[in-house]
């Protein structure tokens, strides 16, 4: 059995985005878990232990900024890639300041 390239948690409340990102990463050999809410994301990080979190900002309960803040507060060093429709400079600065490793605006 071939070993996965790594584990990625994709967090987005839009199923089409989750499916697209998951399919692309799965095709490249990554093991994928998904979450549609901030609370579910925090639970998945604890159980799935991802090597990367792809995180939307706009989620129905805890926003992505709060998820990132809590992960860093817990001492989790997993890289966080914000993938979001919020493209204002203030949002990018906030995401990176809270511990995000990169911030990419959805097209």
Tokens of 21: 């990102």
Is the pLDDT at 1 greater than 80, yes or no?
Answer: no
- Please give the pLDDT value at position 4: 77
| String of DSSP letters for 71-107 | HHHTT----EEEEES---HHHHHHHHHTT-SEEEE--
- Please give the pLDDT value at position 2: 63
> Residue 56 belongs to what domain range?
8-82
Overall number of domains in the chain: 1
CATH code where residue 66 lies: 3.40.50.2300
88 lies in a domain?
no
pLDDT tens digits for range 5-35: 899 999 999 999 999 999 999 999 999 999 9
- Chain mean pLDDT for the chain: 96
Is the pLDDT at 81 greater than 70, yes or no?
Answer: yes
87 lies in a domain?
no
17 neighbors 44 (Cβ within 8 angstroms): no
- Please give the pLDDT value at position 43: 98
């Amino acid at each position: 059995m071939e070993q996965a390239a790594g584990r990625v948690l994709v967090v987005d409340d839009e199923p089409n985005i989750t499916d697209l990102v998951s399919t692309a990463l799965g095709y490249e050999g990554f093991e994928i878990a998904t979450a549609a809410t901030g609370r579910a994301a925090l639970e998945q990080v604890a159980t799935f232990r991802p090597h990367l979190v792809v995180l939307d900002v706009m989620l129905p309960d805890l926003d992505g900024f709060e998820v990132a803040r809590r992960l860093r507060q817990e001492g989790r060093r997993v890289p966080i890639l914000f993938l979001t429709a919020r493209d204002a400079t203030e949002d990018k600065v906030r995401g990176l300041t809270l511990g995000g490793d990169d911030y990419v605006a959805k097209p």
